[in-house]
Structure 1
Amino acid sequence: MLQILSLCTLLILIFTLLPLWRHPHWLIRGMDFPRLQFMIFAAALLIAQLLLLDRETIVVQTLIFATTTCLIWQLWWILPFTLLWRKEVATSNDNTAEKQLSILTSNVFTPNRNAKALISLVKQHKPDVLVTLESDQWWQDQLKVIETDMPYSIKCPLDNLYGMHVYSRLPLDEQELCYLVEQDVPSIHVCLTLRTGDKVRAHFLHPAPPSPTENPESAERDAELIMVAKSVAKSKQPVIVTGDLNDVAWSATTRLFRKISGLLDPRVGRGAFNTFHVDYPIARWPLDHLFHSSHFTLRDIQRLPSIDSDHFPLLTRLVFTFPHGSDQEGIKAEAEEEKWSEEITNQKQVSKNDVPTPAE
């Protein structure tokens, strides 16, 4: 029993320590994803050590200490995305329709042909903006029925799992379709006009994930996230960045994005809102994100029912409350993190100046 639990302790140590190495290889960066599962594993292992081993020996005490440290470390990353944490974004009770902005993001999964389910959600929730990811020409044809109510659109149908569409009830100006890092991975950048007349700088992203079937490293994904973060960091305009970022909310790189950009995460203190994978509840992670500037507070955020994609849609309702929300603060970057962000963009030879700045 001691040998088995010792081997398990070695495994949880490896799972915990590997992400500290900032190497972009997909296997190492992938360790950021199952932190919740690692935390559960560490908790179960700690219970087994306490109940089944002789706690008077130095070896067992060392095992218990190592497992406890791993458990605390994994919990530290997960805890902000629970109800136990202080909310980063204030809750708004303002029902003024003119101030509200609702965004529905949905990775539709290209082979999925259940467009009726997504259209039904759009009709039910009436979002101001619909963002579809992995949408091809077939999806574009099916979604024509919503254009009567959402007359403003930007369309980029692709068959490579990186198609993207934006439909809106609100005017979309200064539209730019870009390929910031990879030639076949688009992003959309617009100036969105609220009903109040205020202009919002919006960026819709879907960088490729680090994986053995996509990019062997996270360098491309990380570079796209950080160059956008640097671009919006000093903007005085209302800002929204949303999409399937192929990174979990609690990863070091998403945390770096939040620090560099200064944007807020409405999930902090409310829950993880895991959107992927629909078919595997034991392995679900928050891959679909929405970050915003302090110009907004939160009406509500919810994960919507499945549309037969591998992702659940995510609906976020914001309220434009500036300047009343200006006291909201995110997390700050340290000097060492600023240096890391420079290394990420320099590696792919990209710059914040490559990112469009609508509404500026």
Structure 2
Amino acid sequence: MLEISVLILTCVMLFITFAPLSPSNHWISRVWEFPRVQIAVITLLLTIASAYITSPIMFTTLFIINALLSSYQLMWIFPYTPLSRKQVPKSNKNQVRPTIKIMTSNVLMPNRQVTKLIDLVNQHQPDVLVTLETDLWWESELASIHKDYPYRVNHPLDNLYGMHLYSKYALEEIQVLELIEKDIPSIHCYLVLNEEVKIKCHFLHPAPPSPTENETSTPRDRELLLIAKQIATQTEATIVTGDLNDVAWSPTTRAFRKISGLKDPRIGRGMFNTFHADYPFLRWPLDHIFHSKHFTLTKIERMPSIGSDHFPLLSELMYTTE
């Protein structure tokens, strides 16, 4: 019974490990880029279970296959562990430099626990709050924080892709664009940190490949790579944040970083899994922050649940390049 169970599970792990290598962008192939941690754990357990199989040939075959599968998955996620080298240096607290604290929160539109988000905002006082999946109800309920955030961009939608931006710093050259798909907006602007420093900001929330949304990952991938190519032509201080509906280790996100030249402060620190808030074993990093070489990292934290399927992400960066 053990032998059959291990054999069947090994075949399943083989399929879902190699599915993302298919040239297809269909969600059935691409969705398996997300749970690499979970696949690594399962194949590691199967490697251990193989040791209890009595048949020498079956033991050797299953042991080697699962050990290789586990190693392959760990190769993808290793950069997002504390064992890897940090890509972004930690800020020097002795330096007197301007900082920017950003909270990104996918609120889950039907969620009504708005006070939990407001409490987090009041507690941590981010300079910038980005809310995703916010409709007119959320816009109205968050009016209580307007006194602290005089600069705002409101784009409520009832299709799970509304977006709001709240800032303590002045915003210039604001654009709300539908880069690839209709009714899938993104916000682009300059944030005036002080008289000498302006930061180009891109706030994104592309649609994911899934059976209920886009059949393929092509629209999401096109949006991310379009922004990456735009950033690659610039030398200015830049921040990209939002729910990218992609994991940090996917080929698309890796291509985004390579083309844009932006850095990921999670590398060498941890995954900071923000989704799914309700299922501890099924979590991966969907909410991101990337930035140019102009910044070091003061802190990055996953916030407590606000009743959404996403945890908010809080990041603080120090501007170090004049």
TM-score band w.r.t. shorter chain: over 0.9
* Structure 1: runs of 5+ lacking an equivalent: 324-360
* Structure 2: runs of 5+ lacking an equivalent: none
Partner of 2:18: 17
> SS of 2:108's equivalent?
coil
**For the Cα contact (< 8 Å) 1:99–1:196, is it kept in 2?**
no
C-alpha separation between the residues in 1 aligned to 2:169 and 2:238? 15
Partner of 1:258: 257
- How far the C-alpha of 1:196 sits from its partner, in A, is 5.7
> SS of 2:103's equivalent?
strand
Equivalent runs, 1:59-98 vs 2, <5 Å: 59-94=58-93
Q: Which amino acid aligns with 2:52?
A: L
**For the Cα contact (< 8 Å) 2:53–2:59, is it kept in 1?**
no
Q: Which amino acid aligns with 1:208?
A: A
C-alpha separation between the residues in 1 aligned to 2:96 and 2:36? 39
Q: Which amino acid aligns with 1:184?
A: D
C-alpha separation between the residues in 2 aligned to 1:195 and 1:125? 21
Q: Which deviates more from structure 2 when the two are superposed, residues 95-104 or residues 262-271?
A: 95-104
Partner of 1:50: 51
> SS of 2:148's equivalent?
coil
Q: Which amino acid aligns with 2:23?
A: R
Q: Structure 1's 113 and 98: CA in aligned 2 closer, same or farther, altered over 3 A?
A: farther
Superposed CA offset, 1:217-276 (max 9, x none):
111111100100111013100011100001111212111111111110001111100111
* Identical columns (%): 52
Q: Which amino acid aligns with 2:32?
A: M
**For the Cα contact (< 8 Å) 2:97–2:320, is it kept in 1?**
no
C-alpha separation between the residues in 1 aligned to 2:10 and 2:182? 43
> SS of 1:276's equivalent?
coil
- How far the C-alpha of 1:97 sits from its partner, in A, is 6.7
C-alpha separation between the residues in 2 aligned to 1:136 and 1:98? 36
C-alpha separation between the residues in 2 aligned to 1:18 and 1:53? 31
C-alpha separation between the residues in 2 aligned to 1:299 and 1:95? 12
> SS of 1:146's equivalent?
helix
Equivalent runs, 1:143-154 vs 2, <5 Å: 143-154=142-153
Partner of 1:125: 124
Q: Which amino acid aligns with 1:4?
A: S
Superposed CA offset, 1:301-360 (max 9, x none):
00111111111100000000116xxxxxxxxxxxxxxxxxxxxxxxxxxxxxxxxxxxxx
Superposed CA offset, 1:28-66 (max 9, x none):
1100111111000000000011233444x3x43232222
**For the Cα contact (< 8 Å) 1:94–1:319, is it kept in 2?**
no
**For the Cα contact (< 8 Å) 1:98–1:195, is it kept in 2?**
no
> SS of 1:40's equivalent?
helix
Q: Which amino acid aligns with 1:251?
A: S
C-alpha separation between the residues in 1 aligned to 2:317 and 2:238? 12
Structure 2 residue 289 is matched with structure 1 residue 290: yes
Q: Which amino acid aligns with 2:34?
A: F
CA RMSD of aligned residues (A): 1.4
- How far the C-alpha of 1:291 sits from its partner, in A, is 0.3
TM norm structure 2: 0.96
C-alpha separation between the residues in 1 aligned to 2:109 and 2:154? 15
TM norm structure 1: 0.86
- How far the C-alpha of 1:130 sits from its partner, in A, is 0.3
> SS of 1:192's equivalent?
strand
Partner of 2:172: 173
**For the Cα contact (< 8 Å) 1:207–1:245, is it kept in 2?**
yes
**For the Cα contact (< 8 Å) 1:98–1:196, is it kept in 2?**
no
C-alpha separation between the residues in 2 aligned to 1:4 and 1:308? 37
Partner of 1:140: 139
- Stretches (4+) displaced over 6 A: none
- How far the C-alpha of 1:95 sits from its partner, in A, is 5.9
- How far the C-alpha of 1:145 sits from its partner, in A, is 1.6
